[in-house]
Chain A
Amino acid sequence: MPHAPVVIVGAGLAGYTLAKELRKLAPEQPITLITADSGALYSKPMLSNALAQGQTAPTLVQATALAQAEKLQLDLRPNCSVSAIYPQQHRLETESGELPYAQLVLALGARPRQLDFPGAELALSVNNLDDYARFRARLTPGAHVLILGAGLVGCEFANDLAASGHAVTLVEAGERALQHMAPASLSLRLQNSLQSIGVQCHFGSGAREIKQLEHGYAVSLGNGCHLNADLVLSATGLIPETALAKSAGLAVGQGILVNDQLCTSAADIYALGDCVELGVSGSSQVLPYVLPLMQQARVLASILSGTPSRLSLPALPVAVKTPACPMVLCPPDRNAPGDWHCERDDSLGAIHHFLGRDGGLLGFALAGDACGQRRQLAGRAPALLE
């Protein structure tokens, strides 16, 4: 099929960054981009900071699908879901017919984890621009929002809502905020800062039931607590979008498995962004952040334009966008033996190092005026992928 295009599925930061990088390297390459959403370009990390910055769903659109198609010279097909992939035939099935591909790139993102307790479906989750528009349409000035989950996204939304005049209750089943990423003292620092701007924290017991009331919702927690709110927002984590790949017979773990050249288990099918699990030399990781996705896009653009390339990833510090308590977290590998050591922890800022058994720096966590050290420390921490 000499004239089949490179087909990218997904118009999130992964799909669009790849299209942009590939266009730079291959001005003549036919590129088709298919996406289930409207194809509007927006910055997903802005969703949890938009209120305080005076942004709305429409102002978050940075370019329409049409403008993107023109700028990047794409055959862009918005509002079109891909329903099946036939790897042997190099063919896709979409809502509006079949399509051949020379090379296929899956940039399908991740979806919110389904909660399974009575009434869980009454909680909103905000994982894309359409979700955000729905959320804002239902958010009245000063409304009381109950957030489920005190991870990165839950804490950022709590800060953004509280700072823009809403009442906020933050519910977390675990004992503390950001428990998988931060040392306990930084979790506490964040909790105190959120409380100081009015966030009510209920930690140590998760939601068991949500009931619709005449006005708003009643949420019951495992510890018997009953809380009322105008809206319930769920921020309990994302799971890579793997169904399409799985039914096409591609190797799938937590995410769509790819190697350091972003190849899936099928010839001419690649994947990047939140939908992938990088499996390299025995270790495997899902990295649902912008920085790794940008690096993946650059490497894949190079490969697709004919120049062999491999992914390498330095340590990945993540900025927690909570203005009440700015932090940078670079947690160690989940299974790494070692302990957090406090270098400094005072009212202005904090520095914590995670040291391995041999005293080597495996991770770090910074707060306040120490956040500026992130690049210097990241240079000393182990690379995610050599």
Chain B
Amino acid sequence: MTQLAEADSAVGTRKWICLVCDFIYDEAKGIPEEGIAPGTPMAAIPDTWACPDCGVTKADFEPYDD
């Protein structure tokens, strides 16, 4: 496996919160019903993805530490 592929498949463990509606994206859980597999890092989600609750893009998410 190349280094790039390894970086791509790195399992995410962080959480992110939507600045507009407080939706929390948990990398460990993903969003299987939207086709985002558990462990998908935020960085690997396409820029066109929309917050499932309010519809804003990744640009309006910040890291969340509980």
Residues of chain A having any CB pair with chain B under 8 Å: 13, 17, 41-43, 45-46, 49, 53, 62, 290-291, 294, 319, 321, 371-372, 375
Contacts and interface: CB of A to CB of B under 8 A. Distances in A.
B53 interface: yes
A45 B22 contact: no
B60 A294 contact: no
Given A53-B57, A372-B62, A62 B22 contact: no
B59 A45 contact: no
A60 to B, nearest CB: 9
A375 B24 CA distance: 13
Contacts of A13: 54-55
Interface string B1-23: 00000000000000001011110
A291 B22 contact: yes
B55 A41 contact: yes
Contact of A45 (B17, B20, B62, B63): B20
B60 to A, nearest CB: 7
Interface in B46-66: 50-51, 53-57, 59-60, 62-63
A47 B50 CA distance: 14
Contacts of A45: 20, 54-56, 60
A43 B62 contact: no
B53 A46 contact: no
Interface of B: 17, 19-22, 50-51, 53-57, 59-60, 62-63
Q: Is the contact region of chain A dominated by helix, strand, or loop, or is it mixed?
A: helix
A291 to B, nearest CB: 6
Contacts of B17: 375
Given A319-B60, A321-B60, A372-B62, A290 B54 contact: yes
Contacts of A46: 55-57
26 contacts: A13-B55, A17-B53, A43-B50, A43-B54, A43-B55, A43-B56, A45-B20, A45-B54, A46-B57, A49-B59, A49-B60, A53-B57, A62-B50, A62-B55, A290-B21, A291-B21, A294-B22, A294-B53, A294-B54, A319-B19, A319-B20, A319-B60, A321-B19, A321-B60, A371-B62, A372-B62
Nearest to A323: B59
Contacts of B57: 46, 53
A42 B54 CA distance: 9
Nearest to A13: B54
A42 B55 contact: yes
